[in-house]
Amino acid sequence: MSSAVAFEEAQPLAPRAALLPALGAVYRAQLSRARVARIPLMFVATFQSLGILIMMRGVVGAHDTEAARDVVAGSSVLVVAFVALNLLAQYFGRLRATGGLDHYATLPVPAASVVLGTAAAYASFTVPGTVVTAVVGCAMFQLPWVHVWIVLAVIPLAGAALAGVGAACGLLAPRQEIATLLGQLGMSAALLLGVLPASHMPQAVRWLRDLLPSTYGVEAFARTFAARPDWGAVVADLAVCGAVGGLSLGLSTWAYRKAATRA
């Protein structure tokens, strides 16, 4: 009996994985799993944004430079919203409804690595569509191309903010159908408040627009179309977007822990 007790005491539990290695493992796993299923949806997100550009071209003329900037920047970020907010809300809602959280809850990895790794994998698929939308929009509305590279900063920051909101919606929704509904409503808000020119909105709607996490990514991108961009304002918008992204990802991590405990 004493030898058996000594043997049990000599077998400590394996330590939990560190955040960064666990995040990398989750990211690679999600990227591999989502590659086949999500690529068609990436085309849908891109074509959707291109269709909105074509539609808005009939409403906003190239002479209305300020409105054109908002349309191109908003349509580009909409690709991120479709994936990071809408699809991620559906994914985590389905994961919770089908008991998939039980698998992740048994793994010795931090909760933040699951949320961040999944969000990063989904956001990775938005890069080609966002760049294509931005380039086509610049050509369609006769905007300068020189600063289109800023989307490479907008994508991760706006993606983090929207992914955190999407994951939280999926994890906190009591039913999978509600998670899907919340994702669709969030994407509709990103469409209406992000793509439509701010100058054409009533003041009350502008206040609502300021509450949308992706708005600051849209504003940062739109500012770079100026002949002499105010880079201080661009950096400030990106900083706000990043701060909101940190808060929303923190919220989604808390929601994951809560959902995993109940699962």
**Averaged pLDDT, groups of 10, the chain, 263 residues long:** 48 62 82 68 84 87 81 92 88 86 77 83 85 93 91 90 90 91 89 82 86 90 92 94 90 86 64
Which amino acid is it at 18? A
The confidence score (pLDDT) of residue 72 equals: 94
Q: CA distances (Å), 218 to each of 15, 134, 165, 190, 208, in order?
A: 42, 11, 17, 10, 14
- Cα–Cα distance measured from residue 54 to residue 134, given in angstroms and rounded to the nearest whole number: 13
Burial tier of 199 (Cβ tally within 10 Å: 0-12, 13-18, 19+): exposed
pLDDT at residue number 263? 53
pTM of the model: 0.86
| Dist CA 222 CA 174 (whole Å) | 37
Exposed (0-12), middle (13-18) or buried (19+): which is 142, by Cβ within 10 Å?
exposed
> What pLDDT was estimated at residue 181?
93
pLDDT at 28: 85
pLDDT at 35: 63
Residue 256: per-residue pLDDT: 87
